[in-house]
Amino acid sequence: MEKVVSGIRPTGNLHLGNYFGAVRSFVQMQDEYDCMFFIADWHSLTTHPKPENIQQSARTILAEYLACGIDPQRAPIYVQSDVKETLELYLFLNMNAYLGELERVTTFKEKARKQPDNVNAGLLTYPTLMAADILQHRAAKVPVGKDQEQNMEMARKCARRFNHIYGVDFFPEPQNFYFSEKALKVPGLDGSGKMGKSEGNCIYLRDDDKTITKKVMKAVTDSGPQEPNSQRPEVIENLFTFLRIASSEDTYQYFDEKWNDCTLRYGDLKKQIAADLCAIVAPIRQRIEDYSADTALLDRIAREGADRARESATATLREVRRIVGFR
């Protein structure tokens, strides 16, 4: 079975962008692939140097992962900082990563612009740590959202370069993986392009029905369809994107027809979206509460996940040391 690895930084609660864009793919992939998922707590230090309570944030995301349906028996979940082998590979990869190419990564440039007083070396080498996360398991596929494409290109470069420099065929080049035919971007409901923590426009998996409904009902719209079969403006298309991901095909068709014959009432559309999102989120929210209450279970799952990740990383590192010349 092909190996799959992916991670998310514990910088806040999971929202519908994370869920539909990434975590739902993780859940679907665990049946068909040899999966491992992790919580990238070291990576979060690149932007949050003084985490409030990093252990608690990791537990929070762990409970949310599990509530979404990741089964730790089939797909171990671990916390990045529990597997120190990653650091050794990070060091080896950094020796063959060049300043120019790291400086050109868009996410580095963006974050450097956002935090000009803290352009730290960790931020610069974010992609080599990410490459180490992936290559330590010699993973073939990595389910991530569209914003990670350049980091993935760096991970492939690290693999290729290692193989080339040492004259081996050791690391496979990891490929981005989208469960549906292309990367999904979950829009914001405030008229902005994407739902995201830093955009402040998220519907969270922890939100209750009332909060979700309120957020959906407040979504930006326009004055309504003017001509039959016209193209939808972006804010309206965003609402239809939610119908596509959260509602049935019939429901989508129903509202699509209403749009096309100019009888669509946005209030009805929003009520439908809110109801369908609540139906998806409510059972997840319940499971988040159940898992969150059982810290002993969460800690055991993380410990067992780390043991399995360490086993896989140790085997890789043994080979890497030998290849580099440490015998």
H/E run at residue 27: helix 24-29
* 201, burial (CB in 10 Å: exposed 0-12, middle 13-18, buried 19+): buried
Orientation angle between helical segments 266-293 and 295-324, nearest 10 degrees: 80
Residue 109 designated active-site: no
**Residue 145, C-beta contacts closer than 8 angstroms, at least 6 positions apart:** 17, 21, 22, 183, 184, 185
Contact letters (x/-) for ligand TRP, 24-63, by CB under 6 A?
----------------x--x--------------------
- Residue 151 engages ligand TRP in binding (rule: CB under 6 A): yes
How many Cβ atoms are within 10 Å of 209's Cβ, its own excluded? 15
Task: Kindly report each contact of residues 196-200 with a partner whose C-beta sits within 8 Å and lies 24 or more positions away, as own/partner.
Answer: 196/15, 196/17, 197/11, 197/12, 197/15
Residue 50 designated active-site: no
H/E run at residue 210: helix 209-217
Residue spans of beta strands (DSSP E) within 52-196: 77-79, 141-143, 175-177
DSSP 183: -
Q: Which does 142 bind (CB under 5 to 8 A by kind): ligand ADP, ligand TRP, none?
A: ligand TRP
Cβ atoms of residues 22 and 144 within 8 Å: yes
Stretch that binds ligand TRP, among 7-15, 178-186, 257-265, 269-277 (CB under 6 A): 7-15
Q: Which does 89 bind (CB under 5 to 8 A by kind): ligand TRP, ligand ADP, none?
A: none
Q: Which does 151 bind (CB under 5 to 8 A by kind): ligand TRP, ligand ADP, none?
A: ligand TRP
Could you give the angle at the alpha carbon of 306 between the alpha carbons of 302 and 310, nearest 5°?
Answer: 180
Could you give the angle at the alpha carbon of 158 between the alpha carbons of 163 and 142, nearest 5°?
Answer: 110
* 261, burial (CB in 10 Å: exposed 0-12, middle 13-18, buried 19+): exposed
Q: Which is nearer to ligand ADP, 125 or 316 (CB)?
A: 125
Residues that bind ligand ADP (CB under 6 A): 8-9, 17-18, 21-22, 144-145, 147-148, 184-186, 194-198
Of 14, 124, 130, 298, the residue at the interface with ligand TRP (CB under 6 A) is 130
Q: How far is the CB of 130 from ligand TRP (least distance, A)?
A: 4
Of the residues 111, 141, 215, 270, which is catalytic? 111
Q: How far is the CB of 70 from ligand ADP (least distance, A)?
A: 14
Of 81, 148, 201, 247, the residue at the interface with ligand TRP (CB under 6 A) is 148
Of the residues 185, 197, 258, 271, which is catalytic? 197
Of 4, 5, 195, 301, the residue at the interface with ligand TRP (CB under 6 A) is 5
Q: How far is the CB of 304 from ligand TRP (least distance, A)?
A: 20
Residue 84 designated active-site: no
- Residue 134 engages ligand TRP in binding (rule: CB under 6 A): yes
Residues of the shown chain interacting with ligand TRP in the complex, contacts defined by CB under 6 A: 5-9, 40, 43, 130, 133-134, 142, 144, 148, 151
Q: Which residues are catalytic?
A: 111, 194, 197
